[in-house]
Amino acid sequence: MQQETLRDQVKEKLDALGEVEIVVGVPSYNNVRTIRQVMEAAHTGVLDAFPGRRALIVNSDSGSKDGTLEEIRELGADSNTFLTVEHPLYPVHHLTMPYHGVPGKASAYRTLFHITELTQARALAVADADLSSITPQWFGELLRPVLDQQYDYVAPFYRRDKYEGTLTSGLVYPLTRALYGRRVRQPIGGEFGISRRLGSRFLNGDVWNTELASYGFDVWMTTTAIAENFHVCQAHLGGRIHDSTEPTPDLSSVLAQVVGSVFGLMETYDKVWRNVLGSLPAPLFGNPFEPRPDPPPLDVGRHLASYRQGMRDLLPVYERIISSSQLRELNSAAERPDAEFALSDEVWVAVIYDFGLAYHRRVMDREHLLKSLTPLYLGWVASFARQIENESLLRAESRIDKLCQVFEQLKPYLINQWPLQTGESRTAS
């Protein structure tokens, strides 16, 4: 199956190149406006950071129709720009190929893992093709821990404003941190660096024909690396700005896909996380970046309206999912005036654990269950936005850390409620 991911002509090119030490991958799909910037950043970044190491830059395209491939071919046509350099011992080769199978990043990643294995490269770094904020320094940050310090997985650490990435900050990060005991701030980041050892593990995983390969692959990689005791760290990358013409996806669908992936992995690794209490930091490399100016305030009123509407319309659903004590707190919060609205960390954490348990027990259709979380999530966002409205980014991050600690403190509730398989006994309390 692995051999089918690469065309014969591509394998011939790889055979001609022989072994390389570094592979940089740029998956693309209709990214004509940014592909040149990203590919040039990859080229410059590798040459600047690793002038004496042989590298291969791979674009894996999923069938672009907007001129992306033509842009890359034009970019690689000038050998003086891409193959003639002053200080490296080896040229940096460029290779473009379409990838096939299920559309999406996972197919591109599979191609990149395969190339890394075939070339015997020590490290692979991957960056999205639609980034307008990327710099050459990103690639050195993602690769150095693997090449120089024997890390297997380098997760990105982005500079974000205090209202950005609330799904990660309020749910995905604190939940994965509490489950698996590692503080990886961006468990679903689009950029990463990995060792060949971990790439082989990913390549031979049983994920490729599952839903995770369609929309949960990033969190699968992070979770697999942590849960299976690979050496994990983080790297400062700065701001992450996409150049996208795609319409904003529906929030409930995004939430269902992301949270469903995390909950599904809870089932895969339940024997791991049920024996983990507390968390340890993941080393963070690189130089911190200055925070952005404070963003404009969120539309809290709109979020609260959605929360209250959800509490009215979905109450019968919530009664099947959420414990009665937490449901009373949620109803009480819905009745307060906007200026007094708040959801405590303890209530939010208990709600997420109840949803995880209901997902595992299949108390109802899973998609329906996950989408019903949307109004409650918007309520948490409104509550969090109120708490940090006049706070600095540093203070806002401290609030997230406090939330993470509550996830860890209340984890025994999840452990004790999680159904055991026949013959198992509980070892954490």
Task: Tell me the pLDDT tens digit for each residue of 363-421.
Answer: 999 999 999 999 999 999 999 999 998 888 889 999 999 999 999 999 999 999 998 77
Q: Between these two residues, 216 and 49, which has the higher pLDDT value?
A: 49
Q: How far is CA 233 from CA 59, 145, 152, 219, in A?
A: 25, 8, 8, 15
Q: Between these two residues, 170 and 214, which has the higher pLDDT value?
A: 170
The pLDDT score that the predictor gives to residue 349 is: 98
The pLDDT score that the predictor gives to residue 73 is: 77
Where are the domain boundaries for CATH 3.90.550.10 in the chain?
Answer: 2-285
Lowest mean pLDDT among 9-18, 74-83, 250-259, 332-341: 74-83
Residue type, 243: D
60 DSSP β-pair partners: 27, 97
Query: Is 135 within 8 Å of 280 (Cβ atoms)?
Result: no
Mean pLDDT to the nearest integer, 343-363: 98
Residue 222 has pLDDT above 70, yes or no: yes
Q: 349: Cβ–Cβ under 8 A, 6 or more apart, which residues?
A: 174, 403, 406, 407, 410
Mean pLDDT to the nearest integer, 181-203: 96
Residue 346 has pLDDT above 90, yes or no: yes
pLDDT tens per residue, range 120-155: 999 999 999 888 889 999 999 999 999 999 999 999
Q: How far is CA 125 from CA 24, 131, 207, 238, 369, in A?
A: 5, 15, 21, 16, 36
pLDDT tens per residue, range 76-108: 644 332 322 222 334 455 666 554 443 467 888
Lowest mean pLDDT among 35-39, 240-244, 382-386: 240-244
pLDDT tens per residue, range 277-287: 999 999 999 98
Mean pLDDT to the nearest integer, 191-195: 97
Burial of 405 (0-12, 13-18, 19+ CB in 10 A): middle
pLDDT band, very low/low/confident/very high, at 428 (cuts 50, 70, 90): very low
pTM for this model (two decimals): 0.90
The pLDDT score that the predictor gives to residue 28 is: 84
Q: Between these two residues, 167 and 214, which has the higher pLDDT value?
A: 167
Percentage of residues of the chain with pLDDT beyond 90: 61
Percentage of residues of the chain with pLDDT beyond 70: 87
pLDDT band, very low/low/confident/very high, at 60 (cuts 50, 70, 90): confident
Architecture field, domain 2-285:
Alpha-Beta Complex (3.90)
The pLDDT score that the predictor gives to residue 292 is: 66
